[in-house]
Amino acid sequence: MRVFLLNLILAISWSALTGNATLVNFCFGFFIGYLALRVSPKIPEGTKYFQRLPRLIRLASFFIQELVLSSLRATIEVFSPKLQSRPLVVRIPLEITDQTQIFILANLISLTPGTVVLEITPDNSELFVHTMFVDDPDIFREEIHLGFEKRVREAFS
Amino acid sequence: MVFDEVFIAALLLVGSLFGFSAALGLLRMPDFYTRMSTSGKAATLCCGLLLGGVAAMFHDTQVTARAVAALLFLLFTVPIGVHMIARAAYRVGTPMWRGRTAKPRFKNPKRDLK
């Protein structure tokens, strides 16, 4: 967290010094700050942050890709003359146990169109997910495990 | 310059298309859960694209900052609201539509776990 704040300060000072406070320039300053911190010797608790940031970016880009793909599918479904979807409620056993990670996973699933988390069992071991475009529950479980769950675990552990 | 305008127009148009599909989904879908799925969250992408288009159009720090903040708050609040409402519906056993050809077409989701 301290390293992240340091990186943020570097990005802010980059924007201030170049006198250009647009979002693109800020992101560029953040990137330069990241590189500068990365090559500087001996930052305590630094290595964890350096591994985590690329993984967070990978999770974010994967999420945006999923969001766009499933939004397109939902839009096609809404505009098609006969409804094609076959909604199901799928039970997904979780491998992650950490509360924060489950919270983030459930929110990401709820945010993609076509899937809603209906219930989390009280012992945090299963999610019940309402899906619209799934033919085979096993394939869907596998997709969540290898897609969102794996990336969330990598980014937040 | 022309490229900028085309880009912004594309963002706004595609964003409105998703907004329209969300509104249409609210009318067309047969049950509570599918209505929630198609409307509640096509709105996420719709708002994201519209806010992005506005930020790109004004090209101004204040506007960009507000667009980013609005988008972040949407991303934090929408899934929680959706989850809470859907969970309430699930717990009281609101019937779920199971597809055009399925028999029976509506069923309590608690008795239909896969």
Q: What is the pLDDT along chain B (114 residues), one digit of tens a residue?
A: 677 888 888 889 988 988 888 888 888 888 888 888 887 777 788 888 898 888 888 877 788 888 888 888 888 888 888 888 888 888 887 888 777 766 666 666 666 666
Q: What is the pLDDT of residue A22?
A: 74
Token pair listed for B43: 């709105």
Q: Do B34 and A113 touch (CB under 8 A)?
A: no
Helix (H) or strand (E) holding A57: helix A46-79
Backbone angles phi, psi at A86, to 5 degrees: -130, 90
Q: What is the DSSP letter of A76?
A: H
pLDDT above 80: residue A41: no
- Give the pLDDT confidence of A91-102 residue by residue, as tens digits: 888 887 788 888
Tell me what pLDDT residue B105 has.
67
Decide if A67 touches B, using CB distance below 8 A.
yes
Chain B residues whose CB is inside 8 A of the A128 CB are 90, 113
Q: What pLDDT was estimated at residue B111?
A: 65
Report the run of H or E that residue A90 belongs to, with start and end.
Answer: strand A88-93
* Nearest chain B residue (CA) to A105: B79
Q: Choose the mutation target among A24, A25, A85, A127 for the interface with B, i.e. most B CBs under 10 Å.
A: A85
CB-CB under 8 Å, B75 with A83: no
Contact list in B for residue A22 (CB cut-off 8 A) is: 59, 61, 64
- Count Cβ atoms within 10 A of the Cβ of residue A17 and give its class: 0-12 exposed, 13-18 middle, 19 or more buried: exposed
Spatial distance between the Cα atoms of A116 and A106, rounded to a whole number of angstroms: 9
Task: State pLDDT tens for residues A102-143.
Answer: 888 888 888 887 788 888 888 878 888 888 877 777 788 888
How far does B4 lie from chain A, in Å, by closest CA?
15
**pLDDT recorded at residue A72:** 84
| 3-state secondary structure labels for all residues of B80-100 | HHHHHHHHHHHHHCCCEECCC
Check residue A46 and give its pLDDT: 64
On the question of pLDDT at A65 being above 70, the answer is yes
Task: For residue A15, give the chain B residue with the closest CA.
Answer: B61
What was the pLDDT predicted at B13?
92
Q: Is A71 on the interface with B (CB under 8 A)?
A: yes
Residues 6+ apart with CB under 8 A from B98: A86, A87, A88, B104, B105, B106, B107, B112
Nearest alpha carbon to residue B44 among B19, B24, B9 = B19
Using the beta-carbon criterion (under 8 Å), do A86 and B96 form an inter-chain contact? no
pLDDT greater at residue A40 or residue B6: B6
Non-local (6+) Cβ contacts of B95 within 8 A are: B31, B106, B107, B108, B109
Over residues A50-71, the mean pLDDT reads 83
Count of the separate structural domains present in chain B: 1
Q: Which of A68, A88, A110 sits opposite B82 (nearest CB)?
A: A110
* The pTM of the whole model exceeds 0.95: no
For residue B112, which residues of chain A lie inside 8 Å, CB to CB? 88-89
Query: Hey, is the C-beta of A85 within 8 angstroms of any chain B C-beta?
Result: yes
